[in-house]
Amino acid sequence: MISKLNATKWLTGLALLLALSAVQAAKHKHAPTHSLLEACQGASVLPSPNCGLTPTPAFDKDGKLWLVFVQNSHIYITHSSDLGQTFAPPITVNRVPEAIYHDGENRPKLVIGPQGEIYVSWSQKAPGRFSGHIRFTRSLDGAKNFDDPLTVNDDLAPIGHRFDTMAVDSQGRIYISWVDKRDLTKAKQSGKAYAGAAIYYALSENRGKSFAFNRKVADHSCECCRIAMAPDNDGQIVALWRHVYPVNIRDHAIIRLGAESAPINGQPIRATDDGWMVEGCPHHGPDLALGDEDKAHMTWFTQGEKNRGIMYGRFDLTSNTLETQHSIDASSTASRPQVAVISNQVFVAWKSFNGTATALQIKSSSDNGSSWSAPRTLATTADGSDYPILLSHGKRLFASWHTRTEGYRLIPVATDAAP
């Protein structure tokens, strides 16, 4: 005989299954869908990339799509072999529940290693305002088992260690960087002024079994903007972040990180110059993709005196110069840009709101970022949405987007590259 509690859970699960099935069917028919909000309510709802928060994707070398998301104090991982049309039952990444940051700028990260290793990092909420710790776990058996999570930051004070970003270099070394407030705390204790926070990173050379001591990259980063990182072809990682330049100018800095990198002496290399003076963090970090010939393709949001809205820039990492920049969308509702490079094409995707609906838009350049196409709309939603993520497998490009009405979507993006 079924108890009332089990019957309630069964009915809730059935309602969610029907709602998610309707969403998947509508995706194939390109028809309007009903909101998932009601079906996704309640602690007993089954874990799902449609109901979970901030789903973050990665392809493995065989083209399988992996996805991590947050639901009920757990990170879950699932995979799809048909480009997001169906997903395997989710698996719990952290067996012991914990408070996890899960907004657009501060979300769990997922990287697939060169031998199929699955690496997951996230920012754990700690007691105290804006406090946290950087957490990491791995699976070496295709997500069948995950190690107990470890804390990457070696300063365990109840302060801010948040906004983690992860990358793997060509040697298989894992880099995790984050925004850290230990130096701000020390300055306050000494009665000294200190603008912003700092950028730190840690390195693992044993496939994530352990991480070396924390290394400071630079003082005076913005306090709550995501960091962008990408591996180059020389065994290093390029990092881009919003920096606080004198006096309170919130532009961007860029640097190469390596296994033996030393801290920056003085101000870091300036990647953008918009003249945005603001007393507070915009909570709006940049994105980065590396192309050929040591070119860093960047996109960012600004409300500066010189530029406003979504911007694109091509930065030469050899000469440390910004070669070209373009306005992608100067409207006041444009936000959350992402950049990708496929062969000789550059793409920038972002969100914009027209007063009634949010559109996922994209522009492309066929000449290495020197000129740009007109915008085209990939998808729309009338409800809330996450920021988009561009990801590629081979020469195929996709936009990953989660909305409260339609759930999770993996949207193909047309390119000029051969399939």
* pLDDT digits 0-9 by tens, 306-323: 999 999 999 999 999 999
Neighbours of 271 (CB within 10 A): 25
**What is the average per-residue pLDDT within 272-279?**
95
Question: CB-based contacts of 25: which residues, under 8 Å, 6+ apart?
Answer: none
Residues 103 and 54 sit within 8 Å (Cβ to Cβ): yes
Query: Buried b / exposed e across 327-356, counting CB within 10 Å, b at 16+?
Result: ebbeeeebbbbbbbbbeebbbbbbbbeeee
Residue 5 reports pLDDT greater than 70: no
CA distance 164 to 201: 9
Q: Indicate whether 80 and 186 sit together in one domain.
A: yes
Express as a percent the part of the chain with pLDDT over 90: 82
Residue 416 reports pLDDT greater than 60: yes
pLDDT at residue 128 in the model: 87
Strand spans (E) along 140-236: 150-151, 161-168, 174-180, 197-204, 215-221, 228-231
Q: Indicate whether 225 and 364 sit together in one domain.
A: no
Residue 200 reports pLDDT greater than 80: yes
Residue 19 reports pLDDT greater than 70: no
Residue 31 reports pLDDT greater than 60: no
- pLDDT category at 187 given cuts 50, 70, 90 is very high
Q: Indicate whether 108 and 180 sit together in one domain.
A: yes
Q: Indicate whether 295 and 412 sit together in one domain.
A: yes
pLDDT at residue 419 in the model: 59
**What is the average per-residue pLDDT within 247-261?**
91
Average pLDDT, the chain: 90
| CA-wise closest residue to 179 among 129, 120, 225, 211 | 225
Q: Indicate whether 25 and 150 sit together in one domain.
A: no
Domain membership of residue 28 as a residue range: 1-46
CA distance 141 to 226: 30
Q: Indicate whether 33 and 58 sit together in one domain.
A: no
**What's the CATH code of the domain at 402?**
2.120.10.10
CA distance 4 to 273: 62
Residues 256 and 236 sit within 8 Å (Cβ to Cβ): yes
Q: Indicate whether 239 and 350 sit together in one domain.
A: no
**What is the average per-residue pLDDT within 273-292?**
94
The helix (run of H) or strand (run of E) holding residue 124 is strand 118-125
Residue 14 reports pLDDT greater than 60: no
**What is the average per-residue pLDDT within 101-112?**
95
Listed residues 46, 66, 82: the one ending a domain: 46
CA distance 149 to 209: 10
Phi-psi region of 163 (alpha: psi -120 to 50; beta: other; left: phi over 0): left
The total number of structural domains in the chain stands at 3
Dihedral sign, Cα of residue 39, residue 106, residue 165, residue 330: positive
Residue 117 reports pLDDT greater than 90: yes
Q: What pLDDT digit, counting tens, does each position of 78-92 carry?
A: 999 999 999 999 999
CA distance 114 to 173: 10
pLDDT at residue 24 in the model: 42
Listed residues 264, 281, 298: the one ending a domain: 281
Q: Indicate whether 272 and 358 sit together in one domain.
A: no
Judged by DSSP in three states, 93 sits in coil
Q: Indicate whether 175 and 266 sit together in one domain.
A: yes
Least confident residue range of 17-21, 212-216, 391-395: 17-21
What letter would DSSP give residue 27? H
- pLDDT category at 226 given cuts 50, 70, 90 is very high
CA distance 225 to 177: 12
Q: Indicate whether 39 and 72 sit together in one domain.
A: no
Q: Indicate whether 41 and 55 sit together in one domain.
A: no
pTM passes above 0.85: yes
CA distance 388 to 400: 6
Judged by DSSP in three states, 299 sits in strand
Residue 155 reports pLDDT greater than 90: yes
Q: Indicate whether 180 and 198 sit together in one domain.
A: yes
Query: Buried b / exposed e across 51-83, counting CB within 10 Å, b at 16+?
Result: bbbbbbbbbbeeebbbbbbbbeebbbbbbbeeb
